[in-house]
Chain A
Amino acid sequence: MSTAMAINFGYFMKESAVSFRRNWVMSLGAIITIYLSLLLVGVSLGSGMLLGQVVESFEDKVSIRLFLKDGAPAEQVDAMQAELLANEMVDTVVYTSKEQALEDFKQRLMQDSPEVIESLASNPLPASLDIDLKDPRNVSMVVEQIKASQNFLAVADRPDDPAKSLEYGQEVVEKLFTVTRIIRLVSIVFVGMLAVISLIFINNAIRIAIYARRKEIAIMRLVGASNWFIRTPFLLEGVLQSLVGALLAIGTLSILYFYILPKLSELMAFLPLTMSGGDAAQVSLVLVVSGIVMGVGGAMLAMRRYLRV
């Protein structure tokens, strides 16, 4: 049995190679379309991962900062804090005093010229409550609740226009969400179209392979070759084509990953544009698997229509 299997395997490989030589133009067409569609799948997967990281890093920064007026009574600030903590959408509330705010400011922005700060006669920065949320997407809801709160009016830095006493990054996040949604949608549509085109190309390549071997197939049917024996070379050919396409796509993506991504990440140091080797391997795996699925699918399509066994 094992020798028979070995013979079969050799036979199948030989058949696929011969068939590739015989109609390499169609095979090349199939390979290129698979390559392009898998490349796009890879690029959109990878950029999706990067964008996800960017969005996440922004989300981390989305906290609500409630500025307190100078000399706000401590018990009212405590009441405000307690009210916020009672809100189930709120994760943590941290009080930052005027002195702390100045210190942070110095640390963050004026490291190179501390004398600017030293020269200030009084501390212009307000104290604040820094509110972190369990889910950053609830920002606007929490903000509305704060605005409606009596405690807030009592402690707000600018009672004339309380909205100005709140600072939060909602718009940035919402824009990012919209951008990622659009990118995702567009790439899904493109990948879908390319997948269909790839299927058509594989289907055509296999159809021609079947046509080229119709005499052999007729004889195989006649002498009782089993259905899978007749089909396997074509299936293998489809898989081979899509695997070559997948490997080319992975090669191209590797260039992007090893040479372009580090440059990009250097250029935009403020964004977390890095991808772990594990994630990259995952993308490659997805490409190989979807390539095989397309290859098998295209070959099956062709066999259903053109190969009567």
Chain B
Amino acid sequence: MISMRNVSKIYVPNKPPALDDCTVEIEQGEFVFLVGHSGSGKSTFIRLLLRELLPTKGQIVVAGQDLTRMKSWKVPFLRRNIGCVFQDFKLLPNKTTYENIAFALEVIGRSKHVIRTQVPEVLRLVGLEEKMESYPDELSGGEQQRVSIARAFVNRPPLLLADEPTGNLDPATSLGIMSLLNRINKTGTTVLVATHDREMVDSMRKRVIALEGGKVIRDQDRGVYGYGD
């Protein structure tokens, strides 16, 4: 699903690179944690996969497509295959839960019929069918993140990227979000979660890729957050 070969990203010449010669393979259907301190390169990693950035060196293949050679007009079609969740939810405050999710389908040209069937379905999956008509500021943080996950998943992408999805949430709520992501992973979707939530990573026992200073320092199946720190 994801293949990074010797990828480096340098934002400012002569400064330490954000990513330094990273090689990572992630198979379809995997659940992977990407861990590391702030500034370790997690966000750069995610943005490279979304092709918001191009690597300075190396090759990135996502869902069979070489991002470094992809024409820019094809990028939107790549992103339709990647669901994306962020720490700050990125919901539109003037739209209801339903409208927020429908918007994601509307703007990629899905028909009204598709929208009317898929939105309630995904809301049931995340457990928010009761909150369909609520606006984001009427929802708790956990509920907002569920809406955001629903929006990322409504189009059934084969890959879901989450950048600090529990960064703004308390531990109990975080657990709920993680089990939701786990459930989505069980449907066959590859899930990559960038986080520095140590307890979460340790309790889930999934594959862990650790970044430090832009380098992959550890990649282990059924891993934990880290040793010393």
B partners with A: yes
Given known contacts A215-B90, A215-B92, A225-B76, is B111 in contact with A220 (CB within 8 Å)?
no
Q: Which residues of B contact A223 (CB under 8 A)?
A: 79-80, 84, 104, 107-108, 151-152, 155
Q: Which residues of A contact B78 (CB under 8 A)?
A: 224
Given known contacts A216-B92, A219-B92, A222-B79, is B73 in contact with A7 (CB within 8 Å)?
no
List the interface of chain A (C-beta within 8 A of B). Answer: 3-4, 7-8, 11, 215-216, 218-227, 229-230
Residue pair A4, B104 in contact (C-beta under 8 Å): no
> Given A4-B111, A7-B111, 20 other A-B contacts at CB below 8 A?
A3-B112, A4-B109, A7-B106, A7-B109, A7-B112, A11-B106, A215-B90, A219-B104, A221-B79, A223-B79, A223-B84, A223-B104, A223-B107, A223-B108, A223-B151, A224-B80, A224-B81, A225-B107, A226-B108, A227-B73
Question: How many pairs of residues, A versus B, come closer than 8 Å at their CB atoms?
Answer: 58
Residue pair A218, B111 in contact (C-beta under 8 Å): no
Shortest CB distance A116–B (Å): 86
Nearest-neighbor residue (CB-CB) of B151 within chain A = A223
Residue pair B111, A3 in contact (C-beta under 8 Å): yes
Q: Please, how many angstroms separate the alpha-carbon atoms of A4 and B111 in the complex?
A: 6
B135 within 8 A of A: no
Residue pair A227, B76 in contact (C-beta under 8 Å): yes
B77 within 8 A of A: yes
Q: Please, how many angstroms separate the alpha-carbon atoms of A54 and B155 in the complex?
A: 68
Q: Which residues of A contact B50 (CB under 8 A)?
A: 222
Q: Which residues of A contact B90 (CB under 8 A)?
A: 215, 218-219, 222
Q: Please, how many angstroms separate the alpha-carbon atoms of A225 and B111 in the complex?
A: 14
Residue pair B92, A229 in contact (C-beta under 8 Å): no
Shortest CB distance B75–A (Å): 8
Residue pair A224, B73 in contact (C-beta under 8 Å): no
Q: Please, how many angstroms separate the alpha-carbon atoms of A285 and B160 in the complex?
A: 52
Residue contacts A-B, CB under 8 angstroms, 20 given: A7-B109, A8-B109, A220-B107, A221-B79, A222-B90, A223-B80, A223-B104, A223-B107, A223-B108, A223-B151, A223-B155, A224-B79, A224-B80, A224-B81, A225-B107, A225-B108, A226-B73, A226-B77, A226-B108, A230-B107
